[in-house]
Structure formats: structure tokens, C-alpha cells
């Protein structure tokens, strides 16, 4: 089955961003790597600090039921503790401003990123808009309202 495609229009807001566009690392990559369009050569994030990192791009997705989701790069997060601050950033289909990635340093050491370094990944995914229906009761399931850890450790 062929992969779904969507046209992604990219507006480059800085000349250097045009020279360092979002790219996929491999043919099988799910996301486009977003790059830091910072004004300095390097930016250091202290332990526990958050920083807003511009990407130098704005996007337009040609499908109204597709949104952009900004995820941490697994290597940057796992190896260096630099993650997307809010977990996942959502880029609504009608947003046309610059994509800014908020990074959080979860490590105990300062982490430095360089200008044009890959800092996060943009994944396009379909969205479902619910029709809200107030009800007095919800349907029964075998799980019911069992929450965190209700099935045990094993």
C-alpha cells in the first residue's frame, strides 16, 4: 500500500533557513527534521531551563484535516536530555506563523545547540474533529474507570 502524501508549502522566513530546509533523515523517516534558526552560532540551555528556538519557517498543509505535530528528536532527548518542552507541539492547519520549538533541558548538564542543528521533528497526521454530545452515562467496558496501574506491574 503506498504511503499517503500531502503537499506541504514552506515559507522561508530567513535566507539561511532556505539553505538549511527541513529534511527527512532516511527514506523511511516519519518526520521532517526541524532546524534551529538562531541568530548566534550556539545556544546553551541550562539544566531545567526552557528556551524558544525559531525554525525560520512557516508552513501550509494542503489538507484541512491534517495537522503538524512537533516531537522531540529521540537522540537529542535520550542522549542529551533536550526535549520538546510541552511534550508535543501542535501546529493547527490554519496557523501561518513561524514554527517555534520550545526546548526543555531535562538533564543535569548544560546542553548546547548549534545554528542549523536538527532540534525536533515535524510529523503530519490526520485529525478528527469530534461532535460533542453530552450524556448522563458512558458505555460499560471491561476496564471501566480503572486508571494508572490498575492492571498491576507485570
What residues does 8 pair with on adjacent strands?
A: 61
> How much is the pLDDT for 75?
87
> How much is the pLDDT for 152?
67
Q: Is 65 annotated as a binding residue?
A: no
Q: Is 92 annotated as a binding residue?
A: yes
Q: Give 19's pLDDT tier (boundaries 50, 70, 90).
A: very high
User: In the sheet where 118-126 sits, what is the strand order?
Assistant: 32-35, 118-126, 66-72, 89-91
The CATH number of the structural domain formed by 8-126 is 2.70.40.10
> Which pTM was predicted?
0.86
> How much is the pLDDT for 3?
59
Query: Are the beta carbons of 122 and 68 closer than 8 angstroms?
Result: yes
* Alpha carbon 46 to its chain's center: 21
Tens digit of each residue's pLDDT (9 = 90 or more) over 38-59: 999 999 999 999 999 999 999 9
Q: Is 142 annotated as a binding residue?
A: no
b/e map 1-17, b = 16+ CB within 10 Å: eeeeeeebebeebeeeb
Is the pLDDT confidence value at 154 over 90? no
Q: Is 73 annotated as a binding residue?
A: yes
Tens digit of each residue's pLDDT (9 = 90 or more) over 60-100: 998 889 999 999 998 888 899 999 999 999 999 999 999 99
Q: How does the average pLDDT of the chain come out, rounded?
A: 91
Domain coordinates in residue numbering, the chain: 8-126
> How much is the pLDDT for 102?
97
Q: Is 74 annotated as a binding residue?
A: yes
Amino acid at each position: 500500500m503506498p504511503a499517503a502524501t500531502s503537499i506541504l508549502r514552506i515559507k522561508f522566513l530567513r535566507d539561511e533557513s532556505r539553505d538549511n530546509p527541513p529534511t527527512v533523515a532516511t527514506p523511511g523517516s516519519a518526520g521532517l527534521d526541524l532546524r534551529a534558526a538562531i541568530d548566534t552560532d550556539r545556544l546553551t540551555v541550562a539544566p531545567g531551563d526552557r528556551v524558544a528556538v525559531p525554525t525560520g519557517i512557516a508552513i501550509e498543509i494542503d489538507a484541512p484535516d491534517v495537522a503538524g505535530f512537533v516531537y522531540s528528536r529521540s537522540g537529542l532527548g535520550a542522549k542529551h536530555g533536550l526535549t520538546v518542552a510541552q511534550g508535543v507541539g501542535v501546529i493547527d492547519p490554519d496557523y501561518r506563523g513561524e514554527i517555534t520549538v520550545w526546548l526543555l533541558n531535562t538533564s543535569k548538564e548544560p546542553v548546547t545547540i548549534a545554528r542549523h542543528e536538527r532540534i525536533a521533528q515535524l510529523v503530519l497526521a490526520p485529525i478528527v474533529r469530534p461532535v460533542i454530545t453530552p450524556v448522563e452515562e458512558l458505555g460499560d467496558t471491561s476496564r471501566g474507570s480503572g486508571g494508572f496501574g490498575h492492571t498491576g506491574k507485570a
